[in-house]
Amino acid sequence: MAENVIYTYAPQMRDYLASKPVYAPYLMHFNEPNCNYLSFSTDDYGFRKTYDKKGNLISLADYNQFNPNDKAALIGNSTGFGVGSTSDQTSFASLLNKKTNLNWFNFCGRTFQSTQDILAYLFFSCFNEQIVMIISGINNFDLSYRWFNQKSIYMPPFYCQNEYNKRFQLYLKLNAIKKRLKNFLFFYKSGNKKYNETFFSDDIERSYYSNLDLSSLLTPKSINYALSTLKRDLSIVKNKTNNVYYLIQPITEWLNKKLSKEEIEIFKYLKYQRGPKWETISSFLIHYSDEYRRSIKQICLSLDIECFDLNELDDLKSDNWIFLDRYHLTDLGQSIVSDYIVNIIN
């Protein structure tokens, strides 16, 4: 297969893929801080830099000092972060600053599920925003089958796997050395220890796709797992502010979109890259899409949160080039969604 065609059509994606997550307490991981790529940049904490109407940077300190009636928080995963935009000025929060009278700040983190969505906001905001806008959805669905565990009520957060693997391997090596020393010095023999993983149900040493037993994991139970986590997390943020909006992020499998020529080539490459196992997962995402999104709406209704499904937005279904992969949007896609946000809050 030819070189990654995503870079041919969207060279800015090199920047997004070059930036690596860093370990962060409680969040497990966060965006790389103080990065300065052509397509995006982050502050000292790792939040994407956001600009106001006049092109001035809005720092976290500035944001928290604004009048509560004049500010809004953007919460979510990599879609809300603005992966795919060609600059900080064309990402969601900066676009919303230009199109509304509010001061928006981007609290989004890449590869976040709903717990991490909310934690990044809770740790750094004063909770007095006029509006909290959440753009999320797919990561709860996607992670639900990877780490489904009958013993856990809620889904674990997405974590920085490579860093976790290194620490776990170091622990195993040190433990083996300790055991050999005991055997040598004290003729000590220990029985086999049994580890009961109640939080991470997959083998920590495995990669996400390589050894998944899809037949046992891709079930409605895993979706319920994702939804129970979402309901808990949304109830927390709802307790902090009244005006909460939840946008179910657009996914190509859920949109029934007319693909542009760029999207056709990009998705052809992605299909090759991910292999046949992804086709099974993709079918699962499509099959349970309606049920999953309907359940999100019911959860939001029960919590008095306004919910909007971006997969129902006709402007995203045109044959214009809107998607850079199945989850992330071009500048045009982010502009369309930001216009939609302006309409629903006015």
Q: What is the pLDDT of residues 94-134, one digit of tens each?
A: 999 999 999 999 999 998 999 999 999 999 988 788 999 99
Spatial distance between the Cα atoms of 222 and 276, rounded to a whole number of angstroms: 21
* Span of 37-51, 228-242, 332-346 with lowest mean pLDDT: 228-242
Spatial distance between the Cα atoms of 11 and 37, rounded to a whole number of angstroms: 12
Is the per-residue pLDDT at 310 higher than 80? Answer: yes
Q: What is the pLDDT of residue 282?
A: 78
Spatial distance between the Cα atoms of 163 and 56, rounded to a whole number of angstroms: 35
Spatial distance between the Cα atoms of 34 and 156, rounded to a whole number of angstroms: 27
Q: What is the pLDDT of residues 158-170, one digit of tens each?
A: 665 555 556 556 6
Per the prediction, the chain carries an average pLDDT of 83
Q: What is the pLDDT of residue 148?
A: 55
Torsion-angle region of 137 (φ positive above 0: left; ψ -120 to 50: alpha; else: beta) = left
Q: What is the pLDDT of residues 228-284, one digit of tens each?
A: 999 999 999 998 888 999 999 999 889 989 999 999 999 988 888 777 777 777 787
Span between the terminal Cα atoms of the chain, in Å: 48
User: Residue 218: which pLDDT band, with cuts at 50, 70 and 90?
Assistant: low
Q: What is the pLDDT of residue 215?
A: 57
Spatial distance between the Cα atoms of 218 and 215, rounded to a whole number of angstroms: 6
Q: What is the pLDDT of residues 284-297, one digit of tens each?
A: 778 888 999 999 99
Please tell me the CATH code under which domain 5-345 is placed. 3.40.50.1110
Q: What is the pLDDT of residue 164?
A: 54
DSSP 47: P
Spatial distance between the Cα atoms of 328 and 80, rounded to a whole number of angstroms: 9
Rounded to 5°, the CA angle 304-103-117 comes to 50
